Amino acid sequence: MNRLGLLIAFCCMFALGRAGAAEVKLPDFQTITLDNGATLLLTPRKDVPLIATTVLVRGGSLADPAGKEGVAELTAGMLEKGAGDRNAAAFAEAVDNAGGSLSLSSTSEAVVANAQFLSKDSTLMLSLLSDALQHPRMDAAEFDKLRKNAIDSIATAKDSDPRRLVGTYADAWLFQNHPYGRAENETSLANITLQDLQEFRRLHMGGNRLIISIAGDFDSAAITHQVQQLFGHWAAATGTLPTVEAKQPEKGRRVLLVDKPGATQTYFSLLNVGTTRSDPARAAQNLVQTAFGGRFTSMLNTELRVKSGLTYGATSRINRMRLPGDVNLTSFTKTETTQAAIDLAIATLDKLHQTGLDAATLQSAKNYIAGQFPPSLETSAQVASSIAWLTMFDEPRSSIDGYLSSVEAATPAQVAAARAIYPQSKDLVIVAIGDASAIRPIMQKYGPVTEIKLSDPRFSP
């Protein structure tokens, strides 16, 4: 373990000793606007000599050109494949020699950079981060390797672990013809050129889109000057942020069957449109989510795994975005027990709507969240990330500072109403990956079926 890893481990141990507090609040932070309009967020924490940084550049995969889904993700990947006067190997070596970490990726709404480093290495690491974002080398050979690896990764998942792709197929099916359903696939990745990445950078990366959140052991005046020098002159992106209309929840059922000939298991997801990050009922909804499918002792896992032995795991999830994302139930089972598992998942959903949560289950869910939430804000990296995303979505800090109080204060009536976050069983969008020859008649019982092959180089018809 390198120096940084040892310090992070110490920091976590120190923080865990304080995790029993009744309420968890963000530390105070300072908001500074750089000369070019970029937002700098500073959160001093002097407990250990570490600094963590989360950088968001607004405009992620929602800005991918049609038919070239994956441009944002490949662009993010290329930013760390050499920058400034360092090629890919030299850039990685510079990060490693500092004992730090630096990674870049893309979400639907932003290109994201995360870095951690020792305080004494802030000059080097912030310079590397600046080079990655503003002066990437965009080498053609590195691009070819990165694109090939992305295509191969999808093919490998299809061949060896389709479970990794259930959510991708599910979102593509639910959000068909909607930006939230546009996933990168083998065909779209193959269509992307290095010029597409350069154009994405020109249109969607610039100082006017930039949020830099820094937490840790630093001098505020010194690091503000440093960031201004490195990032404050980055020119504005020339494009406009993509606009998206909210998708309405679906009525009725429709089924996507993804054929994997000879498959011995069926991977399935039952879903519909859910809610947003800003939903005021978030705390009550999370209590329902925890009890229904968010922990080992949840209703779903108890019925499908513990009692019936139909699966090794069954979960539910609420994916909140700026606009409503999806809410889903996901599991897998042997091919021969496909109907039994899906029927039981639907019956458990019906039970949630019909009987709700008793007082003991509700209190248990409150206790569970009270134990799970504090560790999500222990480290400087977690704090920097949380503050960056709050700023990105223009959310008040009370959405974190008051979260545990909202959970504890949630009434039985509020929790009962929050069950509506889950669809009624008559209104389900269903995806199943499995041997179509064996499960086709079964899936036809749940609604009209559209069928594609797992080998098809896309995630929707």
With a cut of 90, say whether residue 268 has pLDDT above it.
yes
Instruction: Map out the domains of the chain as residue ranges.
Output: 3-9+26-231, 254-453
pLDDT band at 393, cuts 50/70/90?
very high
The pLDDT assigned to 19 comes to: 37
The pLDDT assigned to 82 comes to: 98
With a cut of 50, say whether residue 10 has pLDDT above it.
no
The pLDDT assigned to 47 comes to: 87
The pLDDT assigned to 22 comes to: 59
The pLDDT assigned to 9 comes to: 45
The pLDDT assigned to 23 comes to: 79
- Residues near 252 by beta carbon (within 8 Å), at least 6 away in sequence: 426, 427, 447
Three-state secondary structure readout of the chain: CCHHHHHHHHHHHHHHCCCCCCCCCCCCCEEEECCCCCEEEEEECCCCCEEEEEEEEECCHHHCCCCCCCHHHHHHHHCCCEECCEEHHHHHHHHHHCCCEEEEEECCCEEEEEEEEEHHHHHHHHHHHHHHHHCECCCHHHHHHHHHHHHHHHHHHHHHCHHHHHHHHHHHHHCCCCHHHCCCCHHHHHHCCHHHHHHHHHHHCCHHHEEEEEEECCCHHHHHHHHHHHHCCCCCCCCCCCCCCCCCCCCCCEEEEEECCCCCEEEEEEEEECCECCCCCHHHHHHHHHHHHCCCCCHHHHHHHHHCCCCCCEEEEECCECCCCEEEEEEEEEHHHHHHHHHHHHHHHHHHHHHCCCHHHHHHHHHHHHHHCHHHHCCHHHHHHHHHHHHHCCCCCHHHHCHHHHHHHCCHHHHHHHHHHCCCCCCCEEEEEECHHHHHHHHCCCCCEEEEECCCCCCCC
Residues paired with 33 in a beta bridge: 39
The pLDDT assigned to 18 comes to: 37
CA 260, 261, 263, 267 dihedral sign is: positive
10 Å CB burial of residue 396 (0-12, 13-18, 19+) is exposed
Segment 432-460 mean pLDDT: 98
Rounded alpha-carbon distances, angstroms, from residue 73 to 62, 104, 356: 11, 9, 41
Q: How far apart are CA 148 and CA 153, in angstroms?
A: 8
The pLDDT assigned to 21 comes to: 40
* C-alpha closest to that of 318 among 347, 366, 345, 283: 283
pLDDT digits (tens, 9 = 90+) for 394-419: 999 999 999 999 999 999 999 999 99
* C-alpha closest to that of 272 among 329, 312, 234: 329
The pLDDT assigned to 5 comes to: 52
With a cut of 80, say whether residue 38 has pLDDT above it.
yes
User: What mean pLDDT value characterizes the chain?
Assistant: 95
Percent of the chain with pLDDT over 90: 94
pLDDT band at 14, cuts 50/70/90?
very low
With a cut of 90, say whether residue 455 has pLDDT above it.
yes
The pLDDT assigned to 8 comes to: 46
pLDDT digits (tens, 9 = 90+) for 302-357: 999 999 999 999 999 999 999 999 999 999 999 999 999 999 999 999 999 999 99
pLDDT band at 217, cuts 50/70/90?
very high
The pLDDT assigned to 359 comes to: 98
pLDDT digits (tens, 9 = 90+) for 100-136: 999 999 999 999 999 999 999 999 999 999 999 999 9
**Fold assignment, 254-453:** Cytochrome Bc1 Complex; Chain A, domain 1 (3.30.830)
Q: Give the CATH number of domain 3-9+26-231.
A: 3.30.830.10
With a cut of 80, say whether residue 150 has pLDDT above it.
yes
Evaluate whether 3-9+26-231 and 254-453 have a shared fold. yes
With a cut of 50, say whether residue 204 has pLDDT above it.
yes
pLDDT digits (tens, 9 = 90+) for 359-391: 999 999 999 999 999 999 999 999 999 999 999
